């Protein structure tokens, strides 16, 4: 384990360089073709030969050690966010309105570092490491697209791991948690149908804006009054659209929001309650409303046995003072959950907080990562793969 950490530290400058290149050239959603091409070039430079595209803009590569039956997957996401970066970094985004303010540039660079480390050690382990560079984590079904295109096959994986940067943890630490670490995420859209007419004659209309106001207020009772205080859930409404002029009662109002829960059962009950309230409130006010809920993401739940392995590996690798047990899960979502529904796996946090600097949250235009702890991400991914392959 000490050798793995030293190897990772020797790669720090290269990992920072890869991260800075990706950071300066952000791409959104499934449109990560240039990032994928960069990943392919780096993999070729470090000698990884078994590389292919998956879901068009994703990359899958295999590092094969001595003959063995096991395969471990390591996954990183590559896409950025539609955010204008406010940092004045020398490698800040060169694309207006786009920025890597969720740390996916770091995830990709750390996986490239783990790839170089493992490629150099392939004579010392048995089995296969599958490297998965995924587009479209921030909403456009990247994990689902890669799964549909066969990422779980050729060969199948015995385990899969991923990391995510975390500004609330100081650089030089990792965060772990047993069980659910991220919530299931479900988008919702509420369509409220009224009857349009002149604002001066409301009695001849059915006002969907009035109905929307009542629905917004009524939905606040779902989590506070229909879930046990020991259960965790979120129902947030983030957008309301309706109307064209101040003197017209509109025909329709649309409300968009999200439901988050740490278990599928709680998420399903929140949706059921919300649908009842939406339809009943609209009917009581002479209108109609429907709640649409496309297929969402399940929670990210760490496999118990692999969590125990991860705890042991990280404690040996980094020391107890650098391994932090996260006090609570996050209500953020992650489509890595779709991999975990099919393959046992685990997810951990990489600290990127800097002493003396505000810990701006993920997705903030001011988010800024401390680069000094990237070697822990590189070493952590590589060590987890080796631990499972060798079955220690």
Write the CA distances from 156 to 53, 77, 126, integer angstroms: 17, 20, 15
Answer yes or no: are the C-beta atoms of 285 and 214 closer than 8 Å.
Answer: yes
In whole angstroms, give the CA distance from residue 367 to residue 26: 15
Per-residue pLDDT at 35 exceeds 80: yes
Q: 3-state DSSP call for residue 290?
A: strand
248, 164: one domain: no
pLDDT number for residue 356 = 86
Per-residue pLDDT at 392 exceeds 70: no
Decide which of 292, 315, 350 is a domain's last residue. Answer: 292
What is the rounded average pLDDT of the residues 170-189? 97
Distance of CA 76 to the CA centre of its chain: 10
Bridge partners of residue 165, in order along the sequence = 350
Per-residue pLDDT at 46 exceeds 70: yes
376, 288: one domain: no
121 pLDDT band (50/70/90 cuts)?
A: very high
Decide which of 240, 270, 292 is a domain's last residue. Answer: 292
Number of domains within the chain: 2
313, 232: one domain: no
What is the rounded average pLDDT of the residues 151-157? 96
pLDDT number for residue 295 = 86
116, 246: one domain: no
Looking only at the bridges linking them, the beta strands covering 50-54 and 58-64 are: antiparallel
In whole angstroms, give the CA distance from residue 98 to residue 177: 31
What is the rounded average pLDDT of the residues 305-331? 96
223, 103: one domain: no
Sign of the dihedral through C-alpha 281, 282, 286, 290: negative
pLDDT number for residue 357 = 87
What's the CATH number where 254 sits?
3.30.70.360
Torsion, Cα of 334, 297, 306, 169 (10° steps): 30
215, 284: one domain: yes
341, 234: one domain: no
User: Which range of residues forms the domain containing residue 273?
Assistant: 184-292
210, 305: one domain: no
Per-residue pLDDT at 145 exceeds 80: yes
367, 304: one domain: yes
64, 122: one domain: yes
Does the N-terminal peptide bond of residue 41 adopt cis geometry, omega within 30 degrees of 0?
no
161, 210: one domain: no
Q: In this structure, how many other beta carbons lie within 10 angstroms of the beta carbon of residue 384? A: 27
What's the CATH number where 319 sits?
3.40.630.10
Per-residue pLDDT at 261 exceeds 90: yes
pLDDT number for residue 2 = 77
Give the closest residue to 323 by CA, choosing from 257, 278, 383, 389: 383
- Taking all residues of the chain, what is their mean pLDDT, rounded to a whole number? 96
Answer yes or no: are the C-beta atoms of 131 and 110 closer than 8 Å.
Answer: no
Answer yes or no: are the C-beta atoms of 76 and 382 closer than 8 Å.
Answer: no
Q: Two tokens at 152?
A: 């779980």
Decide which of 237, 259, 292 is a domain's last residue. Answer: 292
8, 26: one domain: yes
Q: In this structure, how many other beta carbons lie within 10 angstroms of the beta carbon of residue 332? A: 16
What is the rounded average pLDDT of the residues 280-306? 96
> Which of 357-366's residues contact partners 24+ apart within 8 Å by CB, and which partners?
359/167, 359/168, 360/167, 361/167, 362/101, 362/102, 362/103, 362/165, 362/167, 362/332, 363/81, 363/83, 363/101, 363/102, 364/101, 365/83, 365/84, 365/85, 365/86, 365/99, 365/101, 366/86, 366/87
**Model pLDDT for residues 54-67, shown as the tens digit of each residue:** 999 999 999 999 99
What is the rounded average pLDDT of the residues 191-215? 98
pLDDT number for residue 139 = 78
């Amino acid at each position: 384990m000490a050798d793995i950490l030293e190897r990772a530290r020797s790669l720090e400058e290269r990992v920072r360089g890869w991260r800075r290149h990706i950071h300066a050239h952000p791409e959104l959603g499934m449109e990560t073709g240039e990032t994928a091409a960069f990943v392919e070039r780096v993999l070729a430079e470090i000698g990884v030969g078994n590389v292919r595209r998956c879901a068009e803009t994703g990359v899958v590569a295999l590092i094969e050690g001595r003959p063995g039956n096991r395969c471990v997957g390591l996954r990183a996401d590559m896409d950025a966010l539609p955010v204008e970066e406010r940092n004045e970094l020398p490698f800040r985004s060169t694309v207006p309105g786009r920025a890597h303010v969720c740390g996916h540039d770091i995830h990709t660079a750390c996986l490239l570092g783990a790839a170089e480390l493992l490629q150099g050690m392939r004579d010392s382990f048995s089995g296969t490491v599958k490297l998965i560079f995924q587009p479209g984590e921030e909403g456009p079904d990247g994990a689902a697209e890669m799964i549909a295109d066969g990422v779980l096959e050729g060969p199948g994986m015995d385990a899969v791991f991923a990391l995510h940067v975390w500004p609330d943890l100081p650089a030089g630490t990792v965060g772990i948690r047993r069980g659910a670490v991220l919530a299931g995420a479900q988008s919702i859209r509420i369509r409220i149908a009224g009857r349009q007419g002149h604002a001066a004659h409301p009695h001849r209309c059915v006002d969907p804006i009035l109905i929307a106001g009542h629905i917004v207020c009524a939905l606040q009772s779902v989590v506070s009054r229909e879930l046990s205080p020991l259960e965790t859930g979120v129902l947030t409404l983030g957008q309301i659209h309706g109307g064209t002029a101040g003197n017209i009662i509109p025909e329709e109002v649309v409300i968009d929001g999200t439901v988050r829960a740490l278990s599928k059962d709680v998420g399903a009950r929140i949706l059921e309650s919300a649908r009842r309230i939406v339809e009943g409130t609209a009917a009581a006010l002479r209108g109609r409303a429907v709640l649409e809920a496309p297929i969402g993401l399940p929670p990210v739940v760490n496999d118990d046995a692999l969590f125990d392995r991860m705890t042991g590996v990280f404690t040996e690798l980094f020391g107890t003072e650098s391994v932090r047990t996260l006090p609570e899960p996050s209500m953020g979502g992650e489509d890595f959950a779709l991999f975990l529904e099919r393959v046992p796996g685990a997810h951990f946090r990489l600290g990127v907080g800097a002493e003396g600097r505000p810990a701006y949250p993920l997705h903030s235009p001011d988010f800024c990562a401390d680069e000094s702890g990237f070697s822990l991400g590189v070493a952590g991914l590589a060590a987890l793969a080796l631990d499972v392959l060798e079955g220690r």
